[in-house]
Amino acid sequence: MLRLDCRFFLIALAAACSTPPPPTAADPLAAARCKQLVERALADNQAITLLGGLLQAAPKRLSGSPGSDAAVQWSLATMRAMGLVNVRAEPCLVPQWVRGEERAELLGQTAQPLRITALGGSIGTPDGGLEAEVVEVRSFEQLRELGEKARGKIVFFNRPMPRALRSVGQAYGEAVPQRSNGAIEAGKVGALAALVRSVTTAIDGNPHTGAMHYDDAVAKVPAAAIATADAEQLAKALQRGPVRMKLVLGCTQGPDVAGANAVGELAGSVTPERIVVVGGHLDAWDLGDGAHDDGAGCIHALEAVRLLQACGIRPRCTIRVVLFANEENGLRGARAYADTHRDELGKHVAALESDSGGFAPLGLTTSLRDEAAAAMQQKLLPLQDANAGTFLTGAGGCGADIGPLHNAGVACFGLLVNSQRYFDHHHTAIDTLAMVNERELALGAAVVAYTLSVLADG
């Protein structure tokens, strides 16, 4: 991921995106093709089966773990079984961070356990944990004003994800800096640890992990997320008086290890040297199974190419499925892909990423603008019949893993879904298969399939 977590990237940009002029009527043949793909996706109902297969083979897929390796092997075997060609693992080095023990409790008269989880990349606490008084802040500015009063304390960042914002991506963007950079700011004032309110509007007992960062110029302190229900209780306890807390984090950072992107192709029928990339990220945080984040995106890509083959649709250009390594805590896979294929980036026609969950599709975002965007919207008009006709232009890279391709001048697209429930599951133990609706997942794959058929015929 980028310096700021990109999980919300597509949605957060929606307000800044423009909409091209209204298109004319859809081409009847294109409309028939789209209808065929949608009906086949729903009737076959293979997307949920594929997702179940991935989660059974590799429910825990954090980069550098045995589960990550198992996910790559499952992906390669699945691509071969689908009849894709040039199936291979493209290597890259990935970080190896291990969670270990995690435990927290309030001490004294307010004694109670707290539901917490280490943030990804955090250092561990000293042996036996640490004990300190808790100070609550709602912003980095408030922490700076505390200054020396925060020294030797545990800083509790309790800024809620704003509920009033209709765009959950925008709301996430308002709150996530305390998770991304809270440990840095806590270290600047001499605090002993950072405790961050989970980034979700849901009030429940599920702590949300996610990437955090350190600055080599600032003392490193351990960082954890606290479930929102417990954050509410902790805030009330602090209103009554001083609170002490014990925090134990056993996480460790090992040396980089071998990882890989999983790659396979549906060869183009006319100009196979021209390439359209489609994918999601294969890695996932280790609390849940990564069903929505981003198992769904990987399945959107795989099921899309299966649907094209099942419906006898053979695009002119090659469609290359790339299931990226290490999006969650480093973007090593994205960078490795762009570097490995730097000599052929000029032959990349487009790239499409799905990384917003397996919810009902609404349409697409795109980096295209003006006349190019209007022409593409005309070709994608049949998606309106699938209730997925939203088309937001000027959206930059449209996803973290295809960001390097966007920087190289490749036209980029992102699947836009109804994400109101996304951050209820995001980076938690409840991101499981049971939380994915099979029809919504299938519809997302059909939208991706039709979009690919358009992009790869260009």
User: What number of other Cβ atoms are within 10 A of residue 77's Cβ?
Assistant: 14
- Give 208-262 pLDDT, tens digit per residue: 999 999 999 999 999 999 999 999 999 999 999 999 999 999 999 999 999 999 9
Please give the pLDDT value at position 109. 83
Q: Residues 24-37: what's their mean pLDDT?
A: 93
Please give the pLDDT value at position 216. 96
Q: Residues 106-110: what's their mean pLDDT?
A: 89
Considering only CA atoms, which of 432, 419, 438 is closest in space to residue 361?
A: 419
The active-site residue, picked from 136, 303, 327, 440, is: 327
pLDDT at 21 over 60: no
Q: Residues 147-170: what's their mean pLDDT?
A: 96
pLDDT over 90 percentage in the chain = 93
- Give 283-315 pLDDT, tens digit per residue: 999 999 999 999 999 999 999 999 999 999 999
User: pLDDT band for position 8 (50/70/90)?
Assistant: very low
- Give 417-445 pLDDT, tens digit per residue: 999 999 999 999 999 999 999 999 999 99
Please give the pLDDT value at position 2. 36
The answer to whether residue 327 is catalytic is yes
**Dist CA 88 CA 401 (whole Å):** 18
User: pLDDT band for position 20 (50/70/90)?
Assistant: low
Considering only CA atoms, which of 447, 439, 384, 370 is closest in space to residue 413?
A: 447
**Dist CA 196 CA 194 (whole Å):** 6
- Cα angle, residue 388 at apex, residues 421 and 337 outer, rounded to 5°: 80
Whether the bond between 343 and the residue before it is cis, its omega within 30 degrees of 0, is no
- Mean predicted lDDT score pLDDT of the chain: 94
pLDDT over 70 percentage in the chain = 95
Query: Is domain 9-97+255-455 classified as CATH 3.90.1200.10?
Result: no
pLDDT at 13 over 90: no
Q: Which residues contact 39 (CB under 8 A, 6 or more apart)?
A: none
User: pLDDT band for position 68 (50/70/90)?
Assistant: very high
- Give 327-343 pLDDT, tens digit per residue: 999 999 999 999 999 99
Considering only CA atoms, which of 101, 77, 98, 74 is closest in space to residue 87?
A: 77
**CATH number, span 102-250:** 3.50.30.30
pLDDT at 3 over 90: no
Q: Tokens 């697209």 appear where?
A: 413
Write the single-letter amino acid at 30.
A
**Dist CA 268 CA 405 (whole Å):** 20
Question: SS in 3 state form for 104-163?
Answer: EEECHHHCEEECEEECECCCCCCCCCEEEEEEEECCHHHHHHHHHHHCCCEEEECCCCCC
Please give the pLDDT value at position 5. 52
Hey, where are the domains in the chain? Answer: 9-97+255-455, 102-250
**Dist CA 425 CA 77 (whole Å):** 28
* DSSP codes of every residue in 261-327: EEEEEE--SSEEEEEEEEEEE----SSS--IIIIIHHHHHHHHHHHHHHHTT---SEEEEEEEES-T
**Dist CA 389 CA 381 (whole Å):** 7
pLDDT at 4 over 50: no
